[in-house]
Structure formats: structure tokens, C-alpha cells
């Protein structure tokens, strides 16, 4: 179900497209569904339908997705009714909410197993429930006198004072054979306090048909918490992040503060990895053995080899091309590595140095205020402060090749395409536009002239 508006988000964006851990809420739900060996997912859209559908198609979870529209939105039962034409009779339906992102696949697998009766009766209706200290607002689970099966779900607004005391609530998630679901959905009406078609009323019709309704009760509230407001979104985000931080620490990763880590993708760590406070990891990041990440770094789509150290405030974003950092490299503070930066072992990249689509071989250094774009840099090259590759002529990008053991002075401009021959030196302040021979010293700047005893102009007296 992804048709709701999410009024309390006060956002232009449909609620199910709000992001948790960098991924749309609905993306979390579909990714989980894809782990269930589902034949297909049916996404019921309404508010912002086109935007939601486009976002799902673009993400492509691997699971075949069908869309149905619910317009207008007359309740959860009405929502699922829209899906009836695309549900195969021999299927098992798991109803999920697009705004409940953190349900675990194992929980849903256990719920689905409840549908299969132990013996005799083949099918049951299975509800995911949990006990809440404050059940306000939720549908209450009304059980039979002996307590093992469920009789009804009563919504908050329809409940008697006695029923309001029930602490077991319906999570909004159920598993049910499609064939029976269709029969029961056809019987729903909107004769209730909210004038809505309640999906929860299928319980009543299952009971009338003599079908057992069972509750699979879990403890973990986070798995069934929905997002209705920015506050709830932030709370769930923190719960998710703390869970991820704990998983990392269980693997041996040392986090300076588990409350100050944000994972928006997949982080794989070797042994003895240390991560200081306020770091954000996005996309796919791998940190080798003994890697240390300083405080306030943002690292996306990068592979950082063993023993490398990334100092404070470094920004690495490999996007599609990726970034690789070699063993024992030292990066930052305040470095910026962009897509296609491939740094070999023991490379040093210092403060305010930007590297894009460039390869730096073992031991190359660019320590201060520099730009390397579309460059191939050899071993042990020293690239001076303030030097840049002029890789773009306004229309096309060109490569700069700096061979092994070259020394580039400070404040040089290497105008690509250009090659600096092995072992060569480029004098500070040079603008180099022609290839240089190996071993040569190249200087390309105005010669220094000095005029002795120079008299500066004086202010006129008025
Ligand atoms: C529903 C359950 C309630 C349960 C609670 C758990 C019903 C009648 N009640 O209540 O028992 O405790 O969830 O969170 O089902 N939606 C649509 N179309 C609609 C209405 C809703 O797609 O016409 C979607 C919403 O966007 C949301 C989900 O269905 O993703 C649940 O709707 P919501 O209004 O939050 O249900 P509740 O009234 O909270
Ligand atoms: Ca709700």
C-alpha cells in the first residue's frame, strides 16, 4: 500500500518516497519483499502515483512489479481491493505498508509459515502483531476466550472502553491466501466510525468462514513502526543507524561513537578498522584491515585498502566510476577524491587537493592545494602546492601524463594534452604546454627582472 498522502510530513514529496538511510521508504519495503521469493510485488499507488511509480521503475529491485491505482483513497480494504485483478488465485498475499520500512525478511517468512495450518485445515489468516505499552491509535487484537486464535481487529475509533485496554495491536501486516482474500474483500463495507473500507474486517469474514486467524507476535517495535511525521522518520533513522553501528561493532569495528555514524548503503570492513565521529558512508564502501577514518568524513563508493588513513573532513565520492585508495595511503585532512581517482600504495593526498579520473602510482604525493584531473601520475612523483592540470579546453578533456620520479614545483599549470618525461623537473610557476624530455628541467614563465633603487610614486599634495 503506497497510496496515502502523508499529510503530516508537510512535504511535496509523496510519503513513501521520503528517505531513510538514503533510500526511499518504499525501496526498503520492496527490497525486503524481494528476499521472500515473491512472484511479484503489487504497488498500490494514489497520491503522487506517477512520481511513485517512476521512482520504483527507476530503482528496479529485481522483483517484477505491477502497479495498480487507488483513486480516491477509501481505506486500506479499498486499497487492497484494487489489487484483486492482478493477484493469482494460487498465490499467497503478504500485505505491507509502503511507509513501514524496517520489517525484516525473516519476520515475514515466519508470518507466511503461519498461513500453513499444522494439519487438517490447510490455510489460515496470519496477522503480524505486537504488544504495546501505549496502543493508542492502533487496531486492537480481540482474541477468543481461550486466547489462541483471533476473533477480530477493532480500530481505535470503533473500540469499546474494554477493547481499548487491549495492548496487543495489529501491525498493518498480514499474510493470506489470495483466493480467500478475494472472497473476503468483496464483503467489506464502510459502516464504521471512519466511513472507510477496513482491510482489518477480513478477520471477521475469515472467522465467519471457519478459517483460523492466527497472530504471529513479535517484540521488536521498530520492525512495524510506520512513518507519519518528520519526527517519526528521524526516530526510525536513528534506530536503524544504531542497529547498523552495533552490527559493525559485533564484527570488531571500533566506532568512536555509535550514535554518530551514518550508513546509507553497504559498508564492508576488515579487521582493526577505526572510525571516528560524524562519518557518513554511502553507496558501496570497503575498508581494508587497519584502515583509520578521521572525524567528519563523507565517503561514497570507494575501496580503501589496508592500512590507509583518511584524515578529518575528507570527501570521497566515487559515484559510478569508483575511487580506490591503495595500501598505506594517507588522505586529507580536507582532501577531495572524485570518480575515477585510483591511488596506489603509499600515495599522499593532502589538504585542499582534488583528484578526479586520475591514476597515481605508488608513493606519488600531492600534499597541498592542488588539482589532478584526467592525469596519469607515475611512482614517487612530487606534485607541488597550487599546481593544476588544465584538462579542459572548453570543449574536450585531455590527459596529462607525469612519468615516474618527476618533480612538479609549486603553482604550475600543466596544459593537457602534455607529457612530463621521467625524472624531469618543472620549475615553480611554469605554464607547461609542450612535452618535456626525461631528466630535463623545464621552466616556462617570465624571467625575473629587477630595477635598482626603484622610486615608488608619491601622493600629490593638494
Ligand atoms: C491501519 C490498520 C490498524 C493498524 C495500523 C498499523 C486498518 C483499517 N487499520 O490503521 O489496525 O493498527 O494500520 O499501522 O487497516 N493506505 C492506502 N489507501 C488508503 C488508506 C491507507 O494506500 O485508502 C495506506 C497508507 O498510505 C499506509 C497504510 O495504507 O501506508 C496504512 O494506512 P493508515 O491510514 O496509516 O492506517 P491506520 O488507520 O493507521
Ligand atoms: Ca498509520
Query: pLDDT tens for residues 139-181?
Result: 999 998 887 889 999 999 999 999 999 999 999 999 999 999 9
Q: Is the pLDDT of residue 6 over 80?
A: yes
Distance 87 CA to ligand 1 centre (A): 20
Ligand 2 centroid – CA 349 distance (Å): 50
| pLDDT for position 202 | 98
- The per-type count for the chain, helices as H runs and strands as E runs, is 8, 35
The string of pLDDT tens digits covering residues 328-379 is 999 999 999 999 999 999 999 999 999 999 999 999 999 999 999 999 999 9
Q: For the residues 27-55, what does the mean pLDDT come to?
A: 96
For the cut 80, the answer to whether the pLDDT of residue 119 exceeds it is no
Report pLDDT for 348: 98
333 preceded by cis ω (within 30°)? Answer: yes
Tens of pLDDT, residue by residue over 46-87, are: 999 999 999 999 998 889 999 999 999 999 999 999 999 999
Q: Average pLDDT of 122-134?
A: 93
Domain extent listing, the chain: 7-224, 230-442
Mean pLDDT for the chain? Answer: 96
Q: Determine whether 77 is exposed, middle or buried from the number of CB atoms within 10 Å of its CB (0-12, 13-18, 19+).
A: buried
Closest ligand 1 atom to the C-alpha of 99? 30
Interval 191-245: pLDDT, tens = 999 999 999 999 999 999 999 999 999 999 999 999 999 999 999 999 999 999 9
Query: Residues near ligand 1 with C-beta < 6 Å?
Result: 1, 3-4, 44, 46, 70, 73-76, 78-79, 97-99, 138-139, 153, 155, 169-172, 198-200, 226
Whole-prediction pTM value? 0.92
- Identify the pLDDT of residue 116: 86
Which ligand does the CA of 138 lie closest to? 1
* 262 Cα: distance to centroid of ligand 1 (angstroms): 30
Q: Does domain 7-224 have CATH number 2.60.40.1120?
A: no
Q: Which ligand is nearest to the CA of 203?
A: 1
Per the annotation, the verdict on 368 as an active-site residue is yes
Of 47, 315, 368, 398, the active-site residue reads 368
The pLDDT of residue 102: 98
**Spatial distance between the Cα atoms of 350 and 334, rounded to a whole number of angstroms:** 7
**pLDDT above 70 as % of the chain:** 99
Q: Residue 122's pLDDT is what?
A: 62
Start-to-end CA span in the chain (Å) = 84
Q: Which atom of ligand 1 is nearest to the CA of 72?
A: 23
**Which residues are CB-neighbours of 143 under 8 A, at least 6 positions away?**
149, 150, 151, 168, 215
Percent of the chain at pLDDT > 90 equals: 95
Nearest ligand, CA 137: 1
Kindly give the number of the ligand 1 atom that is closest to the alpha carbon of 201: 8
For ligand 1, the distance from its centroid to the CA atom of residue 341, given in whole angstroms, is 47
Annotation: CATH topology of 230-442: UDP N-Acetylglucosamine Acyltransferase; domain 1 (2.160.10)
Phi, psi of 107 (to 5 degrees): -65, -45
Amino acid at each position: 500500500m503506497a497510496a496515502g498522502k502523508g499529510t503530516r510530513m508537510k512535504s511535496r514529496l509523496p510519503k513513501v518516497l521520503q528517505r531513510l538511510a538514503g533510500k526511499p521508504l518504499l525501496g526498503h519495503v520492496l527490497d525486503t519483499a524481494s528476499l521472500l521469493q515473491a512472484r511479484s510485488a503489487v504497488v498500490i499507488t494514489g497520491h503522487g502515483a506517477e512520481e511513485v511509480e517512476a521512482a520504483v521503475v527507476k530503482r528496479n529491485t529485481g522483483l517484477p512489479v505491477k502497479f495498480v491505482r487507488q483513486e480516491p483513497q477509501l481505506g486500506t480494504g479499498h486499497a487492497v481491493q484494487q489489487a484483486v485483478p492482478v493477484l493469482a488465485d494460487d498465490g499467497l498475499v503478504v500485505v505491507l505498508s509502503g511507509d513501514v520500512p524496517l520489517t525484516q525478511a525473516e519476520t515475514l517468512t515466519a508470518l507466511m509459515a503461519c498461513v500453513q495450518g499444522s494439519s487438517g485445515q490447510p490455510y489460515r489468516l496470519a496477522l503480524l502483531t505486537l504488544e504495546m505499552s501505549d496502543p493508542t491509535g492502533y487496531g486492537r487484537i480481540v482474541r477468543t476466550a481461550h486466547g489462541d486464535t483471533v476473533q477480530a481487529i477493532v480500530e481505535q475509533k470503533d473500540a469499546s472502553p474494554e477493547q481499548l485496554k487491549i495492548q496487543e495491536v495489529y501491525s498493518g501486516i498480514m499474510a493470506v491466501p489470495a483466493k480467500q482474500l478475494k472472497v473476503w474483500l468483496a464483503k467489506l463495507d464502510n459502516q464504521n466510525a471512519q466511513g472507510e473500507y477496513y482491510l482489518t474486517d477480513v478477520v471477521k469474514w475469515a472467522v465467519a468462514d471457519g478459517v483460523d486467524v492466527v497472530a504471529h507476535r513479535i517484540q521488536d517495535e521498530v520492525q512495524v513502526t510506520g512513518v507519519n511525521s518528520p519526527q517519526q522518520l528521524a526516530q526510525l533513522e536513528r534506530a536503524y543507524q544504531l542497529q547498523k553501528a552495533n552490527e559493525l561493532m559485533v564484527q570488531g569495528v571500533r566506532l568512536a561513537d555509535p550514535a554518530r555514524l551514518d550508513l546509507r548503503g553497504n559498508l564492508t570492513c576488515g579487521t582493526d578498522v577505526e572510525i571516528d565521529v560524524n562519518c557518513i558512508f554511502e553507496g558501496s564502501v570497503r575498508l581494508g584491515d587497519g584502515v583509520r577514518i578521521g572525524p567528519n568524513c563523507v565517503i561514497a563508493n570507494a575501496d580503501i585498502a589496508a592500512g590507509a588513513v583518511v584524515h578529518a573532513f575528507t570527501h570521497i565520492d566515487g559515484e559510478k566510476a569508483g575511487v580506490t585508495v591503495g595500501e598505506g595511503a594517507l588522505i586529507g585532512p580536507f582532501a577531495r577524491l572524485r570518480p575515477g581517482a585510483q591511488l596506489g600504495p603509499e600515495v599522499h593526498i593532502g589538504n585542499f587537493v582534488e583528484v578526479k579520473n586520475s591514476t597515481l602510482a605508488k608513493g606519488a604525493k600531492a600534499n597541498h592545494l592542488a588539482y589532478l584531473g584526467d592525469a596519469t601520475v607515475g611512482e614517487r612523483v612530487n606534485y607541488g602546492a597550487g599546481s593544476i592540470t588544465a584538462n579542459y579546453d572548453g570543449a574536450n578533456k585531455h590527459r596529462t601524463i607525469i612519468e615516474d620520479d618527476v618533480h612538479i614545483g609549486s603553482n604550475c599549470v600543466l596544459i593537457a594534452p602534455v607529457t612530463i618525461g621521467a625524472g624531469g623537473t618543472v620549475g615553480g610557476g611554469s605554464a607547461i604546454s609542450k612535452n618535456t624530455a626525461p631528466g630535463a628541467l623545464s621552466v616556462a614563465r617570465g624571467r625575473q627582472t629587477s630595477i635598482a633603487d626603484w622610486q615608488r610614486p608619491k601622493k600629490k599634495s593638494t
